[in-house]
Amino acid sequence: MAARKIKSRRKRGELHKCYKCPPEHMGWKRSQIRWRRTLPYCFEHALEFDEKNKPWPVCPKCESNDFGPLEWNGSIEKAVAVCDSCGFNDLATKHFDAPAIWVTLSPIDSSYKAPVS
């Protein structure tokens, strides 16, 4: 029977390459690397990859961060986003994705089915 190949041990202080960083970058410590779908990403590129960290949209009219109180009008397509500062209101589907609107606004006992994206 053939001998099993032994995995090499990690060396202390060894640097790891980010999947998105340019090749000339020296690398990152293992504690600074995050793994996304089995690929190494540094903290800068992990934020780009991670969809959980999307910023909340700002008001297109006054650039205020008070944009986003949503009003449920019976369905996702009819939901409205309102700006508290300037009073601007628009369909929520133009600024938010359907699952975000559904989770934020839908009634708990609703018979309406959640959207699949």
Using one digit for the tens of pLDDT, what is the confidence trace for 11-20? 787 888 888 8
> How far apart are alpha carbons 82 and 80 in whole angstroms?
6
Tell me, what's the pLDDT at 53? 60
99-115 pLDDT per residue, tens: 878 877 766 665 556 56
As a three-state string, the secondary structure of 56-68 is: CCCCCCCCCCCEE
Q: What does the domain layout of the chain look like in residue ranges?
A: 13-53, 67-105
Tell me, what's the pLDDT at 19? 84
34-77 pLDDT per residue, tens: 887 788 888 787 777 666 666 777 888 888 777 767 888 888 88
